[in-house]
Every structure is written in structure tokens, then in C-alpha cells.
Amino acid sequence: MHALVIHAPLDLRIEDVPTPEPEANQLLVRVRAGGICGSDLHYFNHGGFGTVRIREPMVLGHEVSGVVSRAGSGVIDVPAGTRIAISPSRPCGLCQYCQQGLHNHCLDMRYYGSAMRTPHVQGAFRQEIVIDRSQAHFVADSLSDAEAAMAEPLSVALHAVRRAGPMLGKRVLVTGCGPIGALIVAAARRAGAATIVVTDVNTLPLESALKVGADIALNVAEAPDALQPFAADKGSFDVLFEASGNAAALRGAFDVLKPRGIIVQVGLGGEMTLPMNAVVAKEFDLRGAFRFHEEFAVAVELLNKGLIDVKPLISGVFPYQESVKAFQTAGDRSKSMKVLMTFD
Ligand SMILES: [Zn+2]
Ligand SMILES: [Zn+2]
């Protein structure tokens, strides 16, 4: 079978890799669809992000869905032919953080397609993969393979919304509405947000965010002062989801966030200089949001029931044989939201 292996920046190869056998409580899965994530793009374009670098060839990908082709011993509830979304979150279950229910902080996390540890954890952009039964989540017939693969980024969004606390009646600002920002819009809307305003520097992400539930979309490249009306009376928003990783976006939101406003930083932004006196004087809560764990099951359930529609965010599907074109397309934010590949 084939896998997509990154060797160096812009050096992504289709390689033959052996198909392992499913052991006890495992499943052999035929991968159907895989979404290209921001982290995959960082590995593809730059060989990594921050201090995380590719030090050995690594199969990319962690947003996948597929069909079970064979179950290992001990699995009685997942027959061959079952369509599933695969959670790439593989915490150890034993460390202190897993014991506390903080699985995304596991000391021995083996997240697919990640160079955070060496040897790297190989990813899921491959035609066949062996997973643990616990990673498999049943997908409704009404859902396409591509929609099912969106369960992973939706889980990231659900975790971010959960980090913000109760959404009911809140006025929400989302800065940066690529796939994660737009999915936060959908999740916050579903969770009861009263008003959702989004900003971006491109037209397509703004239009996409409106399709999944945003009330107002502001292009801050065309109108840098577009948020200014929201600064009156110490601000208009209860919650900021910062999904751009851009220091200017975060800094600008300080002026429009109400006192005691909650900032959830989702975008990875590296080092920034910020006016901490504003954090003090307006008593902001600054919170991070990183990955997810139990939210994956919730994401699949919301998708299965049609309570969140991710179709407007799918902007392209390519066969894996055209993976380089798929990655190049995914990297163009003016033309793409979520780009996926098929692995038939
Ligand atoms: Zn992802
Ligand atoms: Zn653990």
C-alpha cells in the first residue's frame, strides 16, 4: 500500500509501506479521506514549526476517515464494512494527566503525524492503517467520507469553545477564520452564542464563516479599522477566539473585548509583544486551547445528527496521487478552506 511520506520541505513522496496485521482489540482500516491540516502544511512547506522539525521521514496526516476491513481478536462490535472516523489522539491512559482526564496533556501522547517526539509518530495519510478499537467512531450513512474526516478539526474547535466556558447568550469575536476559526464559529453558534463577529484578511474564509453561522464578517485587510465601532464603552465582546496566530489580531481585539473578557488563543503564534497593562486593567482571562480528546466523540455525534454542517468548509478533494497539488492548493488561503485527499 501507499503512504505520503515527508522527507524535507517540499519533498513529499508516495512510498510503498507494509500493511501491519491488526492485533487484539485493533482494527485494520481502509483509509478513504484525509484532510490537510495547518500542521501538515508546516511540515510540507517548512519542515516543521517552532522547534518541532522533521528529523526522519514521516508519514503525514491525522484527519482521516475510512472503512473497517478486518477486526483483530476481541473486537466484536465493529464488523468489516463499518464506516468510521478515526481519532488521532492516542494518550497512554496511565500518566498523571490521563488519570486526571487531561488526555491532551498526556506525557506519552502518540498523536498521528507529529514530529514533536523522536522517533516521530507516523501519520495516517496511507491507504491502510491499523488502529485501536477505541479510536474508531461510527459514521452515519448521511455523511460523506470527507465530512467524516472533518471530525478532527471540529474536535479542536469544540475543545476551544469548551475552554471558553458557557456560550449561551455570549457576544463572540473570532479572529482568523480558516478551517479552525470557521469551525469555532459553527461550534459557538451551536453552543448558544448570541452574536458572532469574524475577521480575516481574505474573502473566502469570511464568506465561509458566514455560511456556518457568523453574523458579521469583517475584512481587516481592506478596512483595518473595521472593529473600531465595537470599542465603545470598554468593548463589545465577552469572548475572543484568536485563531490566526497573528499578534496584530490579538492586540487589536484587546480594545473591543469587554472587561473580564475571556481570550482563548487557538492559533499558534510564536513570540509576541503585548500590552499586559490592558490584560491587568480590563481583567482579561488569557487561556490556551490545544488539541482535544473526548470532544472527538461529540464532534462525530454532532456531524452524524446534522447539528453541525461542515460541507461549506470543504473547498477541494484530490486523489492522493496528486498530493503535491493538494498541498499547494491547501496552502493558498485566498482559494482554499479545507482540502482533502482520497486514498482509493
Ligand atoms: Zn488537524
Ligand atoms: Zn498519559
Residue 271: pLDDT band (50, 70, 90) is confident
Decide if 301 is inside a domain. no
Q: What pLDDT is stored for residue 49 in this prediction?
A: 87
3-state SS, 295-338, equals: HHHHHHHHHHCCCCCCHHHEEEEEEHHHHHHHHHHHCCCCCCCE
Contacts for 133 with CB less than 8 Å, ≥ 6 apart: 25, 26, 27, 71, 74, 75, 78
> What is the predicted pLDDT for the residue at 50?
84
Q: Is 73 in the same domain as 197?
A: no
Q: What is the mean pLDDT of residues 302-317?
A: 98
Share of residues in the chain with pLDDT > 90 (%): 97
**DSSP notation for 119-148:** SPBP-S-BSEEEEEGGGEEE--TTS-HHHH
12 and 145 belong to one structural domain: yes
* Residue 330 near residue 340, CB atoms below 8 Å: no
Residue 299 forms part of a structural domain: no
Shared-domain flag, residues 282 and 315 = no
Residues 164 and 140 in one domain: no
Percent share of the chain, pLDDT over 70: 100
Q: How many domains in the chain?
A: 2
Closest ligand relative to 63 C-alpha? 1
Q: What would the mean pLDDT of 235-258 be, rounded to a whole number?
A: 96
pLDDT confidence band for 204 (50 / 70 / 90): very high
- Let me know whether 249 and 175 are in one domain: yes
Per-residue pLDDT at 120 exceeds 90? yes
Residue 297 lies in a domain: no
| Predicted pLDDT at 19 | 87
Residues 8 and 133 grouped into a single domain: yes
Domain holding 125, by residue range, is: 2-150+310-342
Query: How confident is the model at residue 268, as a pLDDT?
Result: 86
pLDDT at 251: 95
Cβ distance 190 to 178 under 8 Å? no
H or E, element range at 207: helix 203-211
Measured from the Cβ of residue 51, the count of other Cβ atoms closer than 10 Å reads 6
* Domain assignment present for 95: yes
Instruction: Specify if 304 maps to a domain.
Output: no
- For residue 265, being part of any structural domain is answered with yes
pLDDT at 270: 80
Give per-residue burial for 214-252: e unless 16+ CB within 10 Å, then b: bbebbbbeeeeebbeebeeeebbbbbbbbbbbbeebbeb
> Which listed ligand is nearest to 111 at the C-alpha?
1
Average pLDDT rounded to a whole number, residues 204-231: 97
Helix 151-164 with 179-190: angle, nearest 10 deg = 60
Residue 333: give its domain's CATH number: 3.90.180.10
Going from the Cα of 181 to the center of ligand 1, the distance in angstroms, rounded, reads 12
In this prediction, residue 269 has a pLDDT band, given cuts at 50, 70 and 90, of confident
**Looking at the structure, do residues 317 and 192 belong to the same domain, yes or no?**
no
Same domain, 198 and 175: yes
Q: What is the mean pLDDT of residues 211-222?
A: 98
- Residues contacting residue 35 through CB under 8 Å, at least 6 positions apart: 63, 64, 146, 149, 150, 152, 153, 179, 338, 339, 340
Cα(176) to centroid of ligand 2, in Å?
Answer: 31
**Whether residue 40 sits in one domain with residue 25:** yes
Question: Are residues 144 and 164 part of one domain?
Answer: no
Using the predicted structure, report yes or no on whether residue 197 has a pLDDT greater than 90. Answer: yes
Cα 19 to ligand 1 centroid, rounded to whole Å: 24
Question: Do 195 and 86 fall into the same domain?
Answer: no
Mean pLDDT of the chain: 96
| One domain, residues 146 and 161 | no
CATH of the domain at 225: 3.40.50.720
pLDDT given at position 260: 98
Q: Which residues surround ligand 1, an ion (CB under 5 A)?
A: 37, 63
Bridge partner list, 83 = 67
Instruction: Output the pLDDT for position 176.
Output: 97
